[in-house]
Amino acid sequence: MATVSFDKATRIYPGSEKPAVDALDIEIEDGEFLVLVGPSGCGKSTSLRMLAGLEDVNAGAIRIGDRDVTHLPPKDRDIAMVFQNYALYPHMTVADNMGFALKIAGVPKAEIKQKVEDAAKILDLTDYLGRKPKALSGGQRQRVAMGRAIVREPQVFLMDEPLSNLDAKLRVSTRTQIASLQRRLGITTVYVTHDQVEAMTMGDRVAVLKDGLLQQVDTPRNMYDRPANLFVAGFIGSPAMNLVEVPITDGGVKFGNSVVPVDRDALSAATDKTVTVGVRPEHFDVAGSESEQGLAVTVNVVEELGADAYVYGTAKVGSDDSKDLVVRVSGRDVPEKGSTLHIVPRSGETHVFSTSTGERLSD
């Protein structure tokens, strides 16, 4: 087992000016499950491939434990990788698929058998060891791919969207299995996904990337409660945080007819006449249509989920800009389409960002 550090690691693909990964700096603890997340093309796979040794590092360094592995070939790094397309060998049994890397490495037959059986037990594949991959379900094949990595007992697991071939329901159950398996084995893991829900539910910590640049690395809770900038605020959470540009006034910001008190320091740090206030859908207090308080929202669509409901509406913010907003309400008290809600952000639950730089201003 080992720590992993990206030390200002940079990858510039030949023929490109802009780094695909730009001075990535992350310290991953021994045994930690770290998730890299971000939109398509942000540099997740490139980061993982740099760590695996499948991609050159043009500046900076990568360390596993106290070894500098920046220029080591993949086979000397003591890692095992599970890809999205974990192509199993179709003509081999599950047992042979799982033991293949060990066989190539010249491990004695009896030892391979033992390791494969141990891994199969952990993965609940004991009854399938004699089968060919085509006689397995998608979830079972995915577990065989995990098994191939586990038998090698690496210092670090790398996984690049390993669940994206599975249907939605299987993906949810398999992600819990992977997370609990990783905790049991205690092997440092770097896991790539573009799905923020997957990231938030699986990771000890989550690293958000955008355009090759690390935006924030934090626990899921902190990421949700204190996003570092507008990008993370909008990316983490579903439905997304409402982000509204509002004028600064005495004692706070103007939110429709209400003045919402916000962190004084945040406002004094603002260099613009406005700030962007973020409010999660579950952090509004809703007043009836007779109320004059807060911001008037016209209800366009209501999505009922049983326990609660999401109201998708439009509000006039500022002079004439119309803004789409999402508000969570109780499932017992759902407004009619076309009606008006008056909403006020709950105190202490607002996030303040600089409109021009996007940086978080409130604490």
Q: Which is nearer to Mg ion, 43 or 99 (CB)?
A: 43
- First vs last Cα of the chain: how many Å apart? 36
Is the separation of the CB atoms in 281 and 327 below 8 Å?
A: yes
x/- contact string, 262-301, with ligand ATP (CB under 6 A)?
A: ----------------------------------------
Q: What phi and psi values does residue 234 have, to the nearest 5 degrees?
A: -80, -25
Place of tokens 């791919």: 145
**How far is the C-alpha of 90 from the C-alpha of 191, rounded, in Å?**
26
**Selected range binding Mg ion among 37-45, 107-115, 122-130, 139-147, rule: CB under 5 A:** 37-45
Counting other chains too, the contacts that 302-311 makes at CB distance below 8 Å and 24 or more residues apart are: 302/334, 302/335, 302/337, 304/331, 304/334, 305/331, 306/331, 307/331, 309/334, 310/239, 310/281, 311/335, 311/341
| Interacting partner of 258 out of Mg ion, ligand ATP, none (Cβ under 5 to 8 A depending on kind) | none
43 lines the binding site for ligand ATP (CB under 6 A)? yes
45 lines the binding site for Mg ion (CB under 5 A)? yes
Q: Least distance to ligand ATP from the beta carbon of 85, Å?
A: 12
Q: Least distance to ligand ATP from the beta carbon of 38, Å?
A: 6
CA distances from 120 to 132, 142, 210 (A): 15, 12, 38
Number of residues that bind Mg ion (CB under 5 A): 1
**Selected range binding ligand ATP among 40-48, 128-136, 302-310, 351-359, rule: CB under 6 A:** 40-48
328 lines the binding site for ligand ATP (CB under 6 A)? no
Q: What phi and psi values does residue 85 have, to the nearest 5 degrees?
A: -100, 85
Residues 221-260 binding ligand ATP (CB under 6 A) are none
Which among 239, 232, 202, 237 is positioned nearest to 217, based on CA atoms? Answer: 232
Q: Which is nearer to ligand ATP, 15 or 106 (CB)?
A: 15
Q: Least distance to Mg ion from the beta carbon of 83, Å?
A: 10
**Selected range binding Mg ion among 38-46, 69-77, 114-122, 310-318, rule: CB under 5 A:** 38-46
User: Which residue type occupies 126?
Assistant: T
**Selected range binding ligand ATP among 13-21, 167-175, 310-318, 320-328, rule: CB under 6 A:** 13-21
Do the bridges between strand 252-255 and strand 258-260 make them parallel or antiparallel, or are there none, so unpaired?
A: antiparallel
97 lines the binding site for Mg ion (CB under 5 A)? no
**How far is the C-alpha of 34 from the C-alpha of 200, rounded, in Å?**
10
Looking at residue 134, what DSSP letter applies? G
Alpha-carbon Rg for the chain in angstroms: 25
42 lines the binding site for ligand ATP (CB under 6 A)? yes
194 lines the binding site for ligand ATP (CB under 6 A)? yes
**What single string gives the DSSP state of each residue in 277-319?**
EEE-GGGEEEE-TT--SSEEEEEEEEEE-SSEEEEEEEEEETT
Count of CB atoms within 10 A of residue 171's CB?
19
57 lines the binding site for ligand ATP (CB under 6 A)? no
46 lines the binding site for Mg ion (CB under 5 A)? no
Q: Least distance to Mg ion from the beta carbon of 50, Å?
A: 13
| Interacting partner of 335 out of ligand ATP, Mg ion, none (Cβ under 5 to 8 A depending on kind) | none
Q: Least distance to ligand ATP from the beta carbon of 59, Å?
A: 16
Q: Give the interface with ligand ATP as residue ranges (CB under 6 A).
A: 13, 16, 20, 38, 40-46, 194
Q: Give the interface with Mg ion as residue ranges (CB under 5 A).
A: 45
